[in-house]
Copies of this chain bind each other. A is one copy, B any other.
Amino acid sequence: MESKDHHVVIVGGGFGGIRAAQYLKHAPVRVTLIDRRNFHLFQPLLYQVATGGLSPANIAAPLRAVLKHHANTRVLLGEVVGVDVTKKEVILKDGRVPYDTLILAAGSRHHYFGKDQWEELAPGLKTVEDATEIRRRVLLAFEQAERENDLEKRKALMTFVIVGGGPTGVELAGALSEIARLTMRRNFRNIDPGSANIILLEGAERILPPFPPELSAQAQKGLEKLGVNVRTRCSVTDLKPGEVIVKQNEKVETIPARTVMWAAGVAASPLGKALAQATGCELDKGGRIVTAPDLTVPGHPNIFVIGDLAHFKHGLERPLPGVAPVAMQQGRYVADLIQARLRGKSLPPFKYRDKGSMATIGRSFGVVDLGWLRFTGFFAWLTWLFVHLMYLVRFENRVLVFFQWAWNYITRGRSARLITETWEEARQQK
């Protein structure tokens, strides 16, 4: 590789892409970061936007602001639809960008196991728009219940089903229970929001499957204390407007519920498929690109894949999970490797250092698994708070989130409880 004017193109401004750009700040390369959104989003806290505890901007950082002191980096708002590996160009919806080295960090999206029509009925939680849509549906359900006199209908309005018992589902269920039991208290005159039925469905035999069994059990106990109805070995067989059809122990059952949220499957960005077509590289079942030990696409040493889009398994029992720490470490590794190569050197294969996982359940209970240490309860919750604050990209957001958490904790309030619409809808109403 020649160093002068070497052009690195990063596709995606999530945890992986941002980290790669940050570690290339002083490298003798030009960097172009392309994202279809103008901000980096801290997805692990998205469920708090969906439940009115935080505002979208509190967990977002404008990409241009984050990278403004990177003299070698430009940000491009654009949608990448493919890669031309022969010409070494990234194909945008409206143009092309040439690259010398390409880092694909396009992330993942929800996956409805082939039932795409379910998305309308059960929004997932990946984007700011997903979060405000869930917030709208949840708040509107309580409003409609307050005005509904038919008891059956009212019950369906006050039943909230969350599909998927991973960290997102567990955290969403805990936050919903808090809203209903604490925040909404005394807010209504005809309904008791505390009587809302929050159901968490998990197909596997326990929630938080990647955690050790005893932590899963503790988390389930924690949720049940909050009144959440946890149902394991229970899978969704169909969704209809106002109804969730589930199967548990071979028994099929219909749950009348007006609000359903999806926290189950994820699939890689469609860019994985586009790259496979261009390079003939291998995809896993989830559409992720199977990478070489140095995170390159086999046969294409100048194309890296990181984060949720990468399937990395070398020497591991299972491929690395699609979580922020994996993406961040991969972003840094790739940035380091590019710089090593420019100096005519190389690096040993990528190695993930697992620092542990954690989840929070409601307002003062958490589970933490550091591998060498496992703990649950209040201190685990504090650890969760601290780590999440630390990883927010901007100092301003740390202060804003901290203040709102403290405020919400003390007052049990959640002030970002806005039912908003699209501009077009709002105009129609006038």
Report A's interface with B, CB cutoff 8 A.
36-39, 55-58, 60-62, 64-65, 68-69, 74-79, 95, 109, 119, 123, 127-130, 132-133, 139-140, 143, 146-147, 184-190, 270, 394, 396-397, 399-400, 403-404, 407, 411, 413, 415-427, 429-430
Nearest chain B residue, comparing its CB with the CB of A123? B423
| A39 contact from B38, B418, B424, Cβ within 8 A | B418
Nearest chain B residue, comparing its CB with the CB of A397? B415
Known contacts A69-B186, A399-B403: A419-B55 contact under CB 8 Å: no
- Contact B419–A127 (Cβ < 8 Å): no
A380 to B397, CA, bound (A): 29
- Contact A417–B65 (Cβ < 8 Å): yes
Known contacts A38-B139, A429-B79: A60-B418 contact under CB 8 Å: yes
- Contact A426–B130 (Cβ < 8 Å): yes
Residues of B contacting A419 with CB < 8 Å? 37-39, 77
- Classify the secondary structure of A's interface with B: mixed
- Contact A429–B36 (Cβ < 8 Å): yes
With A56-B420, A396-B404 given, can you name 15 additional A-B contacts, CB distance below 8 Å?
A55-B57, A55-B58, A57-B417, A64-B188, A69-B186, A76-B147, A77-B147, A78-B147, A129-B426, A129-B427, A394-B415, A396-B415, A397-B415, A400-B403, A422-B422
- Contact B127–A426 (Cβ < 8 Å): yes
| A56 contact from B38, B397, B418, Cβ within 8 A | B418
| A57 contact from B36, B95, B139, B416, Cβ within 8 A | B416
| A109 contact from B130, B188, B396, B430, Cβ within 8 A | B430
| A396 contact from B75, B394, B413, Cβ within 8 A | B413
